[in-house]
Amino acid sequence: MEYKNIHVKVIYFVHGSTTDNLEHKASGWNDVKLSDKGIKQSIDLREKVDFDEIDVVITSDLERAKQSANNIFSGQKIIIVDDRLRECNYGDFNGKDSDLVKYEEHIYMPFPNGESLMDVKSRVEDFCEYLFDKFDGKTVAIVAHRAPQIILEHITKNISIEEAIENDWRKTKAWQPGWKYELHTRRKIRETLDKVKHLD
């Protein structure tokens, strides 16, 4: 057996403000659109992105993320849609007051009729395996949501999910035009043997 180092760089972009954000609602899996403010945010972000350092863009399948990805990257990069990057499903709390959505209480316990953060972790880890398979040595831009970013912080920085929630930039409004992460793994691969035995 042979071992190969796999390395993928990620630049994480969050979608622009939505119509739900204006009403202090947590969208979850509700498929809301960007507000006028969110449209402007994503168009303005286009001026801050270094397109040359990005090989491919992958966005959540929820409309607010797809809109943001198109506003930022359309005409510049191939955009792939992947539902594993969806926001956490808040179940009964989808579209309800944001104060009801407390990640700290739902790391292991699912939201009523929804997901837990461990469920989000499972699909984000599966997504990372896809990145290792398809984009070794590449830089991938992701356009997605809060929960997948928290899980990515947990995975790449070797911190607990609790720490990632506590350090979430949203608590201090410390937005930035992209967060950079690096994914590493050592994957076992089979050696290809080109030797042929010849019998005399």
Which pLDDT belongs to residue 5?
A: 80
Q: What is the enclosing helix (H) or strand (E) of 20?
A: helix 19-22
Look up residue 18 and give its DSSP letter.
Answer: B
Q: Using CA atoms, how far apart are residues 68 and 24, in angstroms rounded to an integer?
A: 20
Report the length, in residues, of the chain: 200
The one catalytic residue among 87, 145, 153, 154? 87
What is the chain's pLDDT, residue by residue, as a tens digit (200 residues)?
A: 556 688 999 999 999 999 999 999 999 999 999 999 999 999 999 999 999 999 999 999 999 999 999 999 999 999 999 999 999 999 999 999 999 999 999 999 999 999 999 999 999 999 999 999 999 999 999 999 999 999 999 999 999 999 999 999 999 999 999 999 999 886 654 333 333 334 33
Among 186, 177, 154, residue whose Cα is nearest residue 54: 177
Look up residue 184 and give its DSSP letter.
Answer: E
Side-chain half-sphere CA neighbours of 141 within 13 A: 29
What residues does each domain of the chain span? Answer: 2-189
Q: Using CA atoms, how far apart are residues 189 and 192, in angstroms rounded to an integer?
A: 9
Q: Using CA atoms, how far apart are residues 63 and 46, in angstroms rounded to an integer?
A: 18
Q: What is the 3-state secondary structure (H, E, C) of 32-77?
A: CCECHHHHHHHHHHHHHCCHHHCCEEEECCCHHHHHHHHHHHCCCC
Q: What is the enclosing helix (H) or strand (E) of 5?
A: strand 2-14
Which pLDDT belongs to residue 59?
A: 98
What one-character-per-residue DSSP string does 122-171 give? HHHHHHHHHHHHH-TT-EEEEEE-HHHHHHHHHHHHT--HHHHHHT-GGG
Which pLDDT belongs to residue 2?
A: 55
Which pLDDT belongs to residue 6?
A: 80
87 labelled catalytic:
yes
Q: Using CA atoms, how far apart are residues 95 and 126, in angstroms rounded to an integer?
A: 27
15 labelled catalytic:
yes
The one catalytic residue among 15, 106, 145, 154? 15
Q: Do 87 and 145 contact (CB within 8 A), yes or no?
A: yes
Which of the listed CATH numbers 3.40.50.1240, 3.65.10.10, 3.30.930.10, 1.10.10.10 matches domain 2-189?
A: 3.40.50.1240
Q: Using CA atoms, how far apart are residues 61 and 129, in angstroms rounded to an integer?
A: 19
How far does the chain reach from its first CA to its final CA, in angstroms? 29
